[in-house]
Amino acid sequence: TRLILATRNTGKITELRAILTDAGLPHELVGTDAYPDVPDVRETGVTFAENALLKAHTLARATGLPAVADDSGLCVDVLGGAPGIFSARWSGRHGDDKANLDLLLAQLADIADAHRGAHFACAAALALPDGTERVVEGRLRGTLRHTPSGTGGFGYDPILQPDGGTRTCAELTPDQKNAISHRGQAFRALVPVVRELLG
Ligand code: ITT
């Protein structure tokens, strides 16, 4: 069976293909570019789970195929969980990873190391054309560096140093990041659900 990956973020697509394939998912994974007529999803939810479900349902309805979606972001303790669901457009420019990261670092410039705790969060949703839905979540705790380091991954990876390590997410190999990441946890938990519902 075909399974639609309901995301336009190329960093996510790369990671999702690796995570789902490594987890033994037998389905053919198809990106949204194969369906150019699908409308952009308005992310009107107020939680990661709501937005992930909105994306998955939109693609499943439009294509008639099961769809999985990711909604994710960085939640900073001293900002009360912001940028959170607004992570992709924190600077006002959707998907401009550098502008988003630079703005966040400027906002945290005066915050000392002891208070720079944060986590990545990911909601992984599955929707079927008949309206059936499931959603699971994953988290990665860490602290925020004062300056970016590393070239791997995407988004805020160069400033999040996962707890228990000395490197940022952008300094990890793709396999190392996927093994501990919010996205890896969420989608590995979704795999048995996909198998149960799709066979
Ligand atoms: P789609 O809606 O098409 O999936 P998007 O980039 O708009 O793409 P989100 O609304 O879920 O997706 O925003 C995710 C943002 O959160 C992303 O742009 C990054 O800034 C940040 N983010 C999520 N996961 C991340 C990760 O693993 N590493 C670094 N930053 C991440």
Say how many C-beta atoms besides its own lie within 10 A of residue 4's C-beta.
26
pLDDT of amino acid 59: 96
Out of 33, 40, 70, 71, the active site residue is: 71
Q: What's phi and psi for 78, nearest 5 deg?
A: -70, -10
Ligand 1 centroid–CA 97 distance in Å is: 9
Q: Give the pLDDT mean for 57-80.
A: 97
Give the span between the Cα atoms of 91 and 98, in whole angstroms: 9
CA of 157, closest atom in ligand 1: 29
Task: Compute, in angstroms, the gap from residue 99 CA to the centroid of ligand 1.
Answer: 14
In Å, how far are 16, 43, 64, 147 from 10, measured between CA atoms?
A: 10, 18, 23, 24
Confidence class of residue 48 from pLDDT cuts 50, 70 and 90? very high
Q: Which has the higher per-residue pLDDT, 143 or 36?
A: 143
User: What are the domain boundaries of the chain?
Assistant: 2-198
Taking residue 54's Cβ as centre, other Cβ atoms within 10 Å add up to: 20
- Is 90 exceeded by the pLDDT of residue 199? no
Q: What fold does the segment set 2-198 form as a domain?
A: Maf protein (3.90.950)
Two tokens, residue 83: 């940028």
Q: Residue written as tokens 């959170």? A: 84
Atom 16 in ligand 1: residue holding the nearest Cα = 73
Q: Is pLDDT above 90 for 40?
A: no
In this prediction the ipTM stands at 0.98
Answer yes or no: is pLDDT of 135 > 90.
yes
Known catalytic membership, residue 71: yes
Q: What is the pTM of this model?
A: 0.97
Q: In the prediction, which pLDDT does 88 show?
A: 97
User: In one letter, which amino acid is 120?
Assistant: F
